[in-house]
Structure 1
Amino acid sequence: MSTETRPAETTERTLPPVDTAPLRRRRRQAAWVQAACVAVTLFMALPIVLIGLSAISSRAALAEFPKPFLPSEYSFDTLLAFFEATGTVPALGNSVLAGIYTVFWSLVVGAPAGYALARHAFRGKDAYQVFILLVRALPIVVLSVPLATMFLRLDVYDTVFAVTLVHTTLALPTTVLITASIFVSVPTDLEEAAQVFGCTRWQAARKVVVPLALPGLAASSIFTFVLSWNEILGATVVTLGHRTLPAQVLTALDEASTAYRFAGGFALILPALVFIAVMRRYLVNMWGTTLR
């Protein structure tokens, strides 16, 4: 037998060149998005930084002209004088109480409404969602004046309870819509499985749905608390002697010095920033992301 040896045939394949244009395009888009985020952050943070620097400046540094970006002399006398002024500490307590009560009642009333929107289909559901937003479409003075008249008749005028009712009215539309989107993200299969294992509808919602939706509910409380803390006009109309801190600062601006105004502005901004920083993780979790 004769064996024939054939020469090995080598086939060389030439790969096409890698198209890096989509990768470069994606990197450029990411760079533009990052630059836009930095620009928006600087635009929003610059007034806060300037107010904070002015609040811890001495009175002589505030009177300098032209004023440098960084104060030439630091002092906490202005902040101490602001908090030692008559009515500041009680007004601060009223603001904290009104914010906490508003968060509580908004969740008590708004969370069940959001759950109903997320779990049930009924006639007029879309119209109802649009209707609850009409409260935010109305100017606050349209709501506060009739409410102030009603509070005078019910003998609850000039109380934290009156401010809580006004702020809860303003916060409910946002709370209902946010909680509805939160409950939609919780799978109904888990709730049905809990009912199969013997839970009632209420027990399944309380033991399964609420724990899973708790980060989102905590995030919605951020908007409610900040709304209550920053609201001025309604609190000014329905109170006179027991005003919140923003209303107290607003009524004192005409006769207050420049140092008092900067200290008041810084005192109004700081608690909201602290509250947002504490609840930041829950805020991001509401959209299904987690900060690492």
Structure 2
Amino acid sequence: MTAAGTAAPDRAAAPDAGVDRAPLARRRRNRMLVQVACLAITAFMAAPMYLITLAAFSTRESLNAFPKSFAPADVSTETLRSFLGATGVVPSFLNSLVVGLLTLVLSVAIGTPAGYALARHVFAGRDAYQLFLLFTRALPIVVLSVPLARFFITAGLSDTVLAVALLHTALALPTTVLITASIFTAVPRDLEEAALVFGCTRASAFRQVVAPLALPGIAAASLFTFVLSWNEVLGAAVLTLTNRTLPAQVLGSLQWSPLPYRFAGGFALLVPALIFIFVMRRYLLNMWGTTLR
């Protein structure tokens, strides 16, 4: 009786003793390394933002002090108020907002149908077309800006926000088309065909079935487009003189502007992009396909 009673626990414990714990430990180690890498990337990106914000809300005495403190000591809006009160800053801020939104609308309106065509239709030269789209991003912005400036002067669009928006649209379209094409490829074709069977037209099937499923990809393309347009400076500086965007306005005044003005300009360029990212983040998907809340 005793031998049988002791043999049963030994047999029950035998499977646990034979389990290889190396894969479990490896997965835990890989998960920890991924978390460390994410924290390092976050710190690398957040550190400049924090320093710019700290300098923008510091007094001039704090900026000139040495050694500098990494904690907010004398919080002041004097630097930011002087920057916003400078000549041309508020109009250039509005110009940047108009150019960014117009670029976003044009890129999505043109790039989304093009991405859908690449994903749903097979035609001769499709791969070459996608490669050609990538080649357009290889051209330096100055190479595009100079001939475009001559073209806009001839067309009567010189020194206008529309000219800058058209340039930014040309820069953002390749990425918009490729991102939306990859998203439309991931949307099952069976769902669209089922909508057609139940009486939807091609346009209504796209609007009611395909577009909602592809919304995260369209949001990602929109996010990239707005941030690219908001931060682009060389093309805007070449194409405009009086109707400049905020980056071009800041760049044109950096040579003679004091140090507090530069920090305030960096903060003014940073905030709208962060607000737009915060608004659009709920429409993005992470790599597991769940919506970010």
TM-score normalised by structure 1 residue count: 0.93
Shift of 1:258: 0.4
Cα RMSD of the aligned pairs, angstroms, is 1.7
Q: Distance in 2 between matches of 1:223 and 1:284?
A: 14
Q: Distance in 1 between matches of 2:47 and 2:141?
A: 28
Query: Which sections of structure 1, spanning at least 5 residues, go unmatched?
Result: 1-7
| 2:197 alignment counterpart | 196
1:108 counterpart letter in structure 2: A
Does the aligned pair in 2 maintain the 1:219–1:286 contact within 8 Å?
no
Could you tell which deviates more after superposition, 199-208 or 50-59? 199-208
Q: Distance in 2 between matches of 1:202 and 1:61?
A: 60
Does the aligned pair in 2 maintain the 1:281–1:290 contact within 8 Å?
yes
Does the aligned pair in 2 maintain the 1:182–1:286 contact within 8 Å?
no
Does the aligned pair in 2 maintain the 1:218–1:282 contact within 8 Å?
yes
Does the aligned pair in 1 maintain the 2:283–2:292 contact within 8 Å?
no
Superimposed CA distance per residue, residues 73-110 of structure 1 (whole angstroms, 9 cap, x where no aligned partner): 11001101111111111100000000000010001111
1:96 counterpart letter in structure 2: L
| Pairing 1:146-161 to 2, within 5 Å after superposition | 146-161=147-162
| 2:178 alignment counterpart | 177
Shift of 1:203: 2.2
Query: Which sections of structure 2, spanning at least 5 residues, go unmatched?
Result: none
Does the aligned pair in 2 maintain the 1:95–1:229 contact within 8 Å?
yes
Larger Cα Rg: Structure 1 or Structure 2?
Answer: 1
Does the aligned pair in 1 maintain the 2:284–2:291 contact within 8 Å?
no
Q: Distance in 2 between matches of 1:181 and 1:199?
A: 24
| 2:76 alignment counterpart | 75
| 1:60 alignment counterpart | 61
Superimposed CA distance per residue, residues 53-77 of structure 1 (whole angstroms, 9 cap, x where no aligned partner): 0000001111112222224311001
Aligned-pair identity in percent equals 64
| 1:143 alignment counterpart | 144
Does the aligned pair in 2 maintain the 1:175–1:220 contact within 8 Å?
yes
Does the aligned pair in 1 maintain the 2:284–2:292 contact within 8 Å?
no
Q: Distance in 2 between matches of 1:177 and 1:50?
A: 35
1:69 counterpart letter in structure 2: F
**SS of 1:156's equivalent?**
coil
Superimposed CA distance per residue, residues 24-57 of structure 1 (whole angstroms, 9 cap, x where no aligned partner): 1111111111111111111111111001000000
| 1:187 alignment counterpart | 188
Shift of 1:19: 2.3
| 1:4 alignment counterpart | none
Could you tell which deviates more after superposition, 247-256 or 188-197? 188-197
Shift of 1:190: 1.4
TM-score normalised by structure 2 residue count: 0.93
